[in-house]
């Protein structure tokens, strides 16, 4: 039986443990608090994934050394804002040969780095060869119930991605591989901004037309930023791109969408985040992407308006009016004929 360590004991960490455990893996979750570890060891993570009986191969502990000791793979299931801190604390106990899987979807706000870049800074460039991002349309509430789900394991090194594909793949959890780490990371992080936006539109009681428009034009601006940072055009039409955008913008499981709905209904950002009770990654990512767009010289009008609503007290309704009142545009030219995408598609 292989041992797998999971850093974090929230909803996604627990659901992924539930995927790994029946495959003859002993899965140990690192909780911050003893009370949560005790709850999980009781057989159900009632705080983060209620109603799911946990597999007996799953346990939880607050002792990092104990959790990481002898682990063949380490899955980071904590929010982006604490990834560096948890990584630095973990590194002394991680076997240099272990594969590191990160499932967080966000950027480091203070540096605007992707999380693989944070990993490389702390663990070294060589260690990136065993670093894999697992992303795609997947809510913990459904994965916990073995509802069919497809994801993508991305790494600059295909053998590492294939290892993670084998590690996680089950009859209800299908994993593809992709070598475009940049595109997969950006797709997963940036769709949360658009989910906040579609949530806001729902909270304002706009219709399906508005939501479809926001998703489509949201994907256009995600793609534009991604191409400027070296991502592959095609990744954005895959599971980590449009796939994740669809699930996050349409599902009531989405924390980002639910937060947006509350803002659209008139709650403050703080009240809306508080009401969700779990991490709402899109809030920090909006600020990060806003700065990234400026740095890259890329137009991201939806991100700009969501930034204004979240951080500059702009009314959501004015944000929608600003988007609708923009100058006339060609739909596709900016992406299809951009220098970068032509290079990628050649």
> Applying CB under 6 A, which residues contact ligand NDP?
8-13, 32-33, 36, 48, 77-80, 82, 86, 103-106, 138-140, 278-279, 281
CB 289 within 8 A of CB 107: yes
Comparing CB distances to ligand 13P, the nearer of 37 and 239 is 239
- Regarding 195 and contact with ligand 13P (CB under 6 A), the answer is yes
> Measured between alpha carbons, how far is residue 282 from residues 30, 124, 179, 188, 243 in Å?
24, 28, 25, 10, 17
- Regarding 139 and contact with ligand 13P (CB under 6 A), the answer is yes
From the list ligand NDP, ligand 13P, none, which binds 293 (C-beta under 5 to 8 Å, kind-based)?
none
From the list ligand NDP, ligand 13P, none, which binds 247 (C-beta under 5 to 8 Å, kind-based)?
ligand 13P
Q: What is the phi/psi pair of residue 220, to 5°?
A: -60, -45
User: Is position 279 annotated in a ligand binding site?
Assistant: yes
User: Per-residue contact track with ligand 13P, 304 to 333, x per CB under 6 A?
Assistant: ------------------------------
What is the distance between the alpha carbons of residues 158 and 33, in angstroms, rounded to a whole number?
A: 36
From the list ligand NDP, ligand 13P, none, which binds 248 (C-beta under 5 to 8 Å, kind-based)?
ligand 13P
Tokens of 18: 């539930």
Interaction with ligand 13P in 240-269: which residues (CB under 6 A)? 244, 247-248, 253-257
Comparing CB distances to ligand NDP, the nearer of 152 and 219 is 152
Comparing CB distances to ligand 13P, the nearer of 84 and 191 is 191
Nearest Cα neighbor of 282 from 318, 317, 245, 315 is 245
CA 170 to chain centre: 21
Give the binding range for ligand 13P (CB under 6 A) out of 62-70, 91-99, 134-142, 314-322.
134-142
In whole angstroms, the minimum distance from the beta carbon of 104 to ligand NDP comes to 3
Nearest Cα neighbor of 60 from 83, 33, 20 is 33
- Regarding 137 and contact with ligand 13P (CB under 6 A), the answer is yes
What is the distance between the alpha carbons of residues 193 and 284, in angstroms, rounded to a whole number?
A: 9
- Regarding 232 and contact with ligand 13P (CB under 6 A), the answer is no
Whole-number CA gyration radius for the chain: 20
In whole angstroms, the minimum distance from the beta carbon of 144 to ligand 13P comes to 13
What is the distance between the alpha carbons of residues 249 and 237, in angstroms, rounded to a whole number?
A: 16
CA 98 to chain centre: 22
Q: If residue 118 lies in a helix (H) or strand (E), which one and from where to where?
A: helix 115-123
What is the distance between the alpha carbons of residues 248 and 254, in angstroms, rounded to a whole number?
A: 5
Tokens of 319: 């944000």
What is the distance between the alpha carbons of residues 190 and 195, in angstroms, rounded to a whole number?
A: 9
- Regarding 81 and contact with ligand 13P (CB under 6 A), the answer is no
Q: Which residue's structure tokens are 């349309």? A: 137
Query: Known catalytic residues?
Result: 191
Comparing CB distances to ligand NDP, the nearer of 90 and 210 is 90
From the list ligand 13P, ligand NDP, none, which binds 8 (C-beta under 5 to 8 Å, kind-based)?
ligand NDP
User: Is position 47 annotated in a ligand binding site?
Assistant: no
User: Is position 138 annotated in a ligand binding site?
Assistant: yes
The contact set with ligand 13P (CB under 6 A) reads 105, 137-139, 192, 195, 244, 247-248, 253-257, 281
Q: Which residues are annotated as a binding site for substrate?
A: 105, 255-256
List binding-site positions for NAD(+): 140, 255
């Amino acid at each position: 039986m292989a041992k797998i360590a999971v850093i974090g004991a929230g909803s996604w960490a627990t659901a992924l443990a539930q995927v790994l455990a029946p495959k003859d893996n002993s899965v140990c979750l690192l909780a911050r608090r003893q009370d949560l570890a005790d709850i999980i060891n009781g057989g159900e993570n009632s705080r983060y994934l209620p109603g799911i009986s946990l597999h007996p191969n799953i346990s939880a502990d607050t002792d990092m050394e104990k959790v990481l000791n002898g682990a063949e793979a380490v899955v980071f299931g904590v929010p982006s804002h604490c990834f560096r801190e948890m990584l630095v604390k973990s590194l002394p106990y991680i076997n240099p040969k272990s594969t590191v899987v990160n499932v967080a979807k966000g950027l480091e706000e203070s540096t605007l780095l992707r999380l693989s870049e944070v990993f490389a800074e702390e663990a070294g460039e060589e260690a990136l060869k065993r670093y894999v991002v697992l992303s795609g349309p997947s809510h913990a509430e459904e994965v916990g119930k073995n509802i069919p789900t497809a994801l993508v394991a991305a790494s600059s090194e295909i053998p590492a991605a294939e290892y993670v594909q084998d590690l996680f793949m089950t009859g209800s959890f299908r994993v593809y591989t992709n070598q475009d780490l940049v595109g997969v990371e950006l797709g997963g992080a940036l769709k949360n901004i658009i989910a906040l936006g579609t949530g806001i539109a729902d909270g304002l009681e706009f219709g399906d037309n508005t939501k479809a428009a926001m998703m489509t034009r949201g994907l256009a601006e995600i793609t534009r930023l991604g191409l400027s940072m070296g991502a592959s055009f095609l990744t954005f039409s895959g599971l980590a791109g449009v796939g994740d955008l669809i699930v996050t913008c349409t599902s009531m499981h989405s924390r980002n969408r639910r937060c947006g709905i509350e803002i659209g209904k008139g709650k403050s950002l703080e009240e809306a985040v508080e009401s969700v009770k779990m991490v709402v990654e899109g809030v920090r990512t909006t600020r990060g992407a806003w700065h990234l767009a400026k740095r890259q010289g890329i137009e991201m009008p939806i991100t700009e308006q969501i930034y204004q609503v979240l951080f500059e007290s702009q009314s959501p309704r004015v944000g929608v009016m600003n988007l609708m009142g923009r100058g006339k545009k060609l739909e596709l030219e900016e992406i299809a004929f951009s220098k970068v995408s032509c290079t990628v598609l050649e």
